[in-house]
Amino acid sequence: MTGVWITILYIAVLLIYFAVMIFIGLRSSKSAKSVDGFVLGGRTVGPWLSAFAYGTSYFSAVIFIGYAGQFGWKYGIAATWIGLGNAVIGSLLAWAVLGRRTRLMTQHLKSATMADFFGKRYGDDRIKIFASLIIFIFLIPYTASLFKGLGSLFQMAFDIPYAVCVIVMSLVTAVYVLIGGYMATAWNDFIQGIIMLIGIVAVIAAVLSLKGGPSEAIAQLSQITDGSELNAPFTSFFGPDFYGLIMVIILTSLGTWGLPQMVQKFYSIKSESSIRKGMIISTLFAIIVAGGCYFLGGFGRLFYSAESIKFDEIVPTMIQNISPILIALVLILVVSASMSTLSSLVLSSSSTITLDIIKDRRKNMSPKGQMLTLRVLCAFFIALSAVIAIIYDTYNISFIAQMMGVSWGALAGAFLAPFMYSLYWKRTTKASVIACFIFGVAMSVTAFVLSMTAGSLPVEFTSSFIYKYLFSSPIYVGAWTMLLGFIIVPVVSLFTKAPAKETVEDMFKAYESVPDRSLPPLSSAPADAQQVETAEEVMEEEVIAQEE
């Protein structure tokens, strides 16, 4: 197949893919006419859509292009443990521990965002505003990183100009998110998830066949050393750096428990039976996609060699000699992974600013006004992230790349422990939540500053135990920030005033026996509000009848 026909193939595949995404957005427009429908799909999303929405939001192009190459190079096939950790901790346990309680408590409090949950859980709008600002500030560089990773891949592997890729991807995502809202992203996530499952399996088989199959590839990898005393370090059970591997697993697996765009998937599930099914589906999805990506990246040293290692080049180098048809599948796989995560981030950021800040300042804001503001902010968020990604590529501004590295740690470090304790422990106090917010942001900003000034730091500090195992990597900082949050919240709570018992008891009534049916939607329209009130009264009567 000549170069011209290959280019035509890539363009045709992309155009078909984009057309399908936009078509789904148009078909989902009816579900996006209310605020609740636009943000949460009316809380009527089934297990398959919810599980795939969770999985595709979890695993973006960053994992396939960046993390698979970087951690595969560093840990060898032991990097597969990261994918398995994502499946067990980041998917299975996340659904089991957070799924039901998040769904019931957020519905009971009538909250549509994580920031609103904190504000209503502790009866303080200042907490809500603080959380909203953290979400908005740190989701922007997170989103920009998706554009950067995808644009770099297209420019390097497919000869598609970086800026063109970023702009086209922004426009397509904006169209189907603005028109179809959450349900459009959920259906697109489902299709994108299927593409990711097929693509990962096919690419692993094709790439390893270039080295004679899995057994031969492992044998060749075992001959590569890293200068240490460890024999066959890149085929060993836990790789050459056990501490680093554990930190990566903690950050990328446990971190999802505190990310707004991930937790919000539990808000929209329609029933408890859907949670149980979604948990299984999501876990299997993660095993194949995440486990497959990191397993593939573990063989990077067999395909890539350069004096100056660029991790984003490793996976593209591995796939450059496989069939053009499979490369076209990879192209769609990477676009799918990026667009699914991007749409989730866009909805999380725009909804928290609209519903938690702007709406509170404009008490008489109509449902139509809320919808308009949501769509405007979605467009603004996408445009701003795209501009940041283009500026970074054009001027190579290094601090943007550093900020992207600490975004995940900042969000998870600030929210993970407070959110989990808020669902399970009645004694959790407002002061402890604020303390963890401040700690999470402070640690991330400190890590950012230290990374930017590493060359001028005293040797005594950079060679110290604290710097080596805490501040030498954004991954270490993020992981330890999350773990320390589980200590900060209970300690501060025990030394500060307990919340009013009556208020907390009323909130935790949400976990009492509830009929396993779809929860009523949380709509801002007057007619829908009446329906919600009626549905809630029926549910309360059934609960009382059961207790009697």
Residue 546 has pLDDT above 50, yes or no: no
- Comparing 395 with 410, which gets the higher pLDDT? 410
Query: Which tens digit of pLDDT belongs to each residue from 418-472?
Result: 999 999 999 999 999 999 999 999 998 888 888 778 778 888 888 888 888 888 8
Specify the CATH superfamily of domain 14-29+44-393: Sodium/glucose cotransporter (1.20.1730.10)
User: Would you tell me how many other CB atoms lie within 10 Å of the CB of residue 215?
Assistant: 10
pLDDT of residue 288: 95
Taking alpha carbons only, the member of 72, 67, 118 closest to residue 258 is 118
Q: Assign 3-class secondary structure to 157-196.
A: HCCCCHHHHHHHHHHHHHHHHHHHHHHHHHHHHHHHHHHH
Confidence band of 542 (pLDDT split at 50, 70, 90): very low
Let me know the angle formed at the C-alpha of 346 by 340 and 351, rounded to the nearest 5 degrees. 130
Angle at the Cα of 435 from the Cα atoms of 57 and 464, rounded to 5 degrees: 85
More confident residue, 227 or 240: 240
- With bands split at pLDDT 50, 70 and 90, how would you rate the model's confidence at 373? confident
Q: What pTM value is reported for the model?
A: 0.84
Residue 523 to residue 531: CA distance in whole angstroms: 9
3-state secondary structure of 425: coil
Distance CA 477, CA 251 (A): 9
Which pair of tokens denotes residue 222?
Answer: 């075992």
Q: In residues, how long is the chain?
A: 548
Measured CA to CA, the distance from residue 109 to residue 117 in angstroms comes to 7
Is the CB of residue 41 less than 8 Å from the CB of residue 343?
Answer: no
CA gap 96, 117 in Å, rounded = 20
* Structural tokens at position 448: 């950012």
Q: What is the mean pLDDT of residues 182-198?
A: 83
pLDDT of residue 519: 46
Residue 382 — very low, low, confident or very high, per pLDDT cuts 50/70/90?
A: confident
pLDDT (mean) for 361-377: 78
- Nearest Cα neighbor of 247 from 400, 409, 96, 92 is 409
Distance CA 91, CA 253 (A): 8
CB 86 within 8 A of CB 58: yes
Span 129-159, pLDDT tens digits: 899 889 888 887 777 777 776 666 666 656 6
Q: Which residues make beta-bridge pairs with 269?
A: 45
Mention every residue, 6+ apart, whose C-beta is less than 8 A from residue 468.
none
Side-chain-facing half-sphere of 106: CA atoms under 13 Å: 29
Q: Which residue has the tokens 């599930």?
A: 269
Contacts of 79 (CB under 8 A, 6+ apart): 68, 71, 72, 239, 245, 294, 295, 297, 298
Per-residue pLDDT at 43: 67
SS3 for 117? Answer: helix
- CA 101, CA 257: separation in Å to the nearest integer? 13
Copy the structure tokens of residue 323: 């069939």
The answer for residues whose C-beta is within 8 angstroms of residue 400's C-beta and 6 or more apart is: 141, 144, 388, 391, 392
Tokens 């769904």 belong to: 103
Q: Looking at residues 255-267, what average pLDDT do you find?
A: 88
Q: Looking at residue 268, what is its pLDDT?
A: 80
Percent of the chain with pLDDT over 90: 29
For the chain, give the longest Cα–Cα distance: 76
DSSP string, 508-539: HGGGS---SSPPPP---SHHHHHHHHHHHHHH
